[in-house]
Structure 1
Amino acid sequence: MAFEDRLQDRLKQRTLANEIRIVRTAYSATPLQSVPYESRYCDGKDPKYAVTYFADSLTTAFAEVLVRGRYSVRFGSGGVYERTRSIRFTEINSRSVVVANSSAHARMTLVDLTGPGLAYLGLHTDLSRAGSHTRGRRFSRFIYENYSDVDGFIWESRHTIGECICIFDRAIHKAESSSVTPLLKHPDLPSVLSTLSFSISAPP
């Protein structure tokens, strides 16, 4: 079966239902706006190409935005080496949590990279698992330029195995924000910090 046929098999029609996005509070007036910047599925070089990210939970969004690979433990002959698992107060205080849903009657066509998706399509696991984003950016741009009916991707967070969604700028009109809450005041923040074993540094 050719790649084209396998890709069609992995297209999923779905809506956004209380998906979570963490943004800089300075941009909370337009919380779903797509802007070009370097990320897993965007190289940030083309002003006409941008993506917007969502996660299925605040825990996954927090891990993707604020944890990433910055606190990885290293092992050596001298023992275990790790950074203090404390996130700066200013990083938390400068961000807000956005809850997003699909616009009325809007459904999105997404490439499903979860489960056996990568293997089925013949794609390298680096697309969603590696710290390097090179392969993901190339694949994303290829899909964007060659499949105008595709709105983005679904993949599994390498930190929590939770579901993440990437929406191309051309389809973000199919989503709308239902609430914006300062991250520091979000009722689920203590649970997220406990789940990921992090604390917040003292305010400056």
Structure 2
Amino acid sequence: MILDLLRTTPKLETVYHETARRAFVFYIHLLGLHDLFYRSLRQQQQQQQQQQQQQQQQQQIIQQQQQQQQQAIQQGQQQQQQQQQHQQQQQQLQQQQQQQQQTQQQQQAQQQQQQQQQQQQQQQHEIFPRAKEKLPRWLAIFFDKLSKVFWVSEDYLFHALAVLKLFIHLRSFKKNFNLAQIQQSASVAVLAVLAVPQNNNK
């Protein structure tokens, strides 16, 4: 309305133009301020968004680091558990191996003892029959040698006794003692008895 009055009055036309120019300049200035305001708002919003993005990125990085740390801790714990389990298994295996070795050694020792006992028994079984077989022969040799010793020492009584023991022994234990040998041994025994002097003081 004021502008219309200024425009319709010729004297105030210059004032109208000046007022219009100033109004236009003010409007432009106002538009510029408005743009600056919106730009600043946009910049603030962009900065806020960037800050939020940075915060989110930092949070993500922190979360990733925490997850990595947790994973590393879990992996370390798992490795420790696996190592402990492995050590326990090795200890168990070593104990089992030691027990097996001990049992094997005990079994081997028992087997050796049994073998030694069996060998001793076999040797005893082999020795005793041989000794039993050889004993009559050795006794016969003993009585024969003893009779000769007594004959040389002129101990005729014990000589006769040794000859009689030899005859009885041969008659009892010699299997192939035939009649001629019996007669010969008996004759030797009789002669040995007859050879004993009657006045033998020994």
Q: Larger Cα Rg: Structure 1 or Structure 2?
A: 2
TM-score between both structures, scaled by the size of structure 2:
0.20
Higher strand share: 1
Compare relative contact order (CA 8 Å, sep 6+) and give the higher one, 1 or 2.
Answer: 1
